[in-house]
Amino acid sequence: MSGNIPSVQVIARTGSLILKEGLSICFYMHASHHEVAASVDQTLEVYLQAIGRFALTWYPDNEGEWQPLDDSSLENVRQELLKHPAPLILMRDSTGSLEAYQFQYRGVVLEPPFLAHTPPERHACAVSFWLPASYLQSQGVGPFRDLAVSLARLLPFNSGHAGPSFHAWLGMEPLTQQMFDLGLRYPGMDIPDEHNNAYSVGDRLQGIHWMNFLGPPVLGALGGSDGLRARLSHPGTCVQPLGEDRAVVTLGDAPDAGDTSQGNVLPAYRELARVLGPWLTSREAARPYRENEALRRWERRFLD
């Protein structure tokens, strides 16, 4: 079983591939970086064990120039992750083409002074792990699901998610708008944006996905794992406790991107969205100078 994920490609005029389908695992922690740094470093180790040490081959230096990621530079990056007060860490498998594997982390500081334009209650340290969609064919759904849970168990997360996503070159606003439109057709696909999510999600939730990781305060407000399970009736929805105050809700046996043009509107996702609606947040606050109508439609795709 490998799930239902469409083949999506957008080619630039130069011939470069700038958008394709993939997989992502993301977690958000409403805490200052120094409180979670060691845990995030542990997740990097687990991710590298899963994909292979040499799957990540490039990183940007302090001037933004891409440099080869050898053992020495990897150690330097990990030291920056552990010691910088609010690091931005990025490692990927390519610089000239769209990557399949990527580790990205945005650390935040919740103590004064506050330098962002959103209030600190909206901030969270954000970490994401990319894998190619072909990982489901080569390894299977089980190893992907197990990897997401293994990463979750290492982190004091408030929320997180895993499943199909669009992988794209970031910073291209017309492409972002195109992804929002594609996301309405394939509602089970995430549109990763860890920078803006880090300054908008806080201790709440960023959308509905195949795997939905819930922690404090949301899970407690729902009555814990048992209280949440009692609110969900769709067959195939599974609520798995991860300790006393955290859980993961998995919607079906395998990832499903859906396809509204074919009538596949993902009813289990819509049911969970109705239950979690009061705690869903928007990244709009972190995009104050951009067109956000398409973003709003996409973020409400399971509610309208």
pLDDT of residue 2: 67
By three-state DSSP, how is residue 10 classified? Answer: strand
pLDDT of residue 243: 94
| pLDDT single digits (tens) 89-130 | 999 998 767 779 999 999 999 988 766 678 889 999 999 999
Between CA 76 and CA 211 the distance in angstroms is 32
Query: Nearest CA to 29 among 195, 197, 203?
Result: 203
Using alpha carbons only, give the angle 257, 189, 36 rounded to the nearest 5 degrees.
130
CA 53 vs CA 57, 148, 162, 216, 272: distances in Å: 9, 18, 22, 33, 36
Quick one: tokens of 173? 């606003």
Q: Output phi, psi for 238, to 5 deg.
A: -125, 130
| pLDDT single digits (tens) 151-175 | 999 999 999 999 999 998 766 778 8
pLDDT of residue 121: 92
| Contact partners, residue 262, CB within 8 Å, separation at least 6 | none
pLDDT of residue 113: 74
pLDDT of residue 222: 98
**Spatial contact of 147 and 25, defined as CB atoms under 8 Å apart:** yes
DSSP letters, 121-180, are: GG--EEEEEEEETHHHHHT-HHHHHHHHHHHHHHS--SEEEEEEEEEE-TT-HHHHHHHH
Between CA 265 and CA 92 the distance in angstroms is 33
- Give this prediction's pTM: 0.96
By three-state DSSP, how is residue 191 classified? Answer: coil
Extents of the domains making up the chain: 21-299
Segments of the chain with pLDDT less than 70: 1-2, 96, 114-116, 170-171, 289
Residue 279 DSSP code? G
